[in-house]
Chains A and B, each alone.
Chain A
Amino acid sequence: GAGVSQSPRYKVAKRGQDVALRCDPISGHVSLFWYQQALGQGPEFLTYFQNEAQLDKSGLPSDRFFAERPEGSVSTLKIQRTQQEDSAVYLCASSRGGGQGGEQYFGPGTRLTVT
């Protein structure tokens, strides 16, 4: 079966450009998470969806970051007016249920480089 997929795998953006990163979770998975992983660091939580509801967006670093999951499946993370400090790998993960402690399945990530 298909795992979590993310596109694009690599994105180079000029400072000030807007970018959109896509996540296709495993079909039927209720929970979806976005993380930011800087070089040599662990994933940092950005936001969490349960179906189409965004239950937690406390990790989004600024109001330039916006995420949506309108139909409870595919999710998009949008970054407006990109800055150099946004350069990182953005990971998406999905989990079967909506409860705490679920095993997360991760995608390969999108490596964003802002020049």
Chain B
Amino acid sequence: AQKVTQAQTEISVVEKEDVTLDCVYETRDTTYYLFWYKQPPSGELVFLIRRNSFDEQNEISGRYSWNFQKSTSSFNFTITASQVVDSAVYFCALSVTASGTYKYIFGTGTRLKVLA
């Protein structure tokens, strides 16, 4: 089965706190891609990062960092020193091959509320 699980439905933090959003995936494919998207209140999903299954190197981009661990099938996302503008729903997604083509499977999302 191909699946993405985001167990945290909603997280509230106070501004400047660090917060980690969890993502666990399932696939039997050896080649796959993982993504994080942000959906602000305006509704449009915005791409944040992509990782392929052969690249376990962690990545940092400003206040954002991602930890990819194949051993635990996890691709967690950390925001350091959170800001009110980080408030949004965050989705983790998995891209796998299927019947000669490919598709994207999204988790149910984690709503992050950053309080001033």
Contact = CB atoms under 8 A, between A and B. Distances in A.
Contacts of B93: 42
Given A42-B109, A58-B98, A103-B50, A109 B44 contact: yes
B44 A108 contact: yes
A56 B106 contact: no
A42 B91 contact: yes
Interface residues of A, number: 26
A111 to B, nearest CB: 9
Interface of A: 33, 35, 40-45, 48, 50, 55-56, 58-59, 89, 91, 93, 100-101, 103-109
Interface in B81-116: 91, 93, 95-109
Interface in B55-101: 91, 93, 95-101
10 tightest A-B CB contacts, nearest first: A42-B106, A101-B33, A106-B45, A100-B102, A55-B101, A56-B101, A43-B106, A42-B108, A108-B44, A103-B47
Counting contact residues on chain B (CB < 8 A from A), the size range is 20 to 34
Contact of B44 (A33, A42, A50, A106): A106
Contacts, number: 67
Contacts of A42: 4, 91, 93, 106-109
Contact of A91 (B45, B99, B109): B45
Contacts of A45: 103-105
A66 B107 CA distance: 25
9 contacts: A35-B106, A41-B108, A41-B109, A48-B102, A55-B100, A100-B31, A103-B47, A107-B44, A108-B44
Secondary structure call for the B interface: strand
Nearest to B109: A42
B47 A104 contact: yes
A101 B103 CA distance: 9
Contacts of B52: 101
A89 B44 CA distance: 11
B33 to A, nearest CB: 4
B41 interface: no
A100 B37 CA distance: 17
Given A43-B91, A56-B98, A101 B50 contact: yes
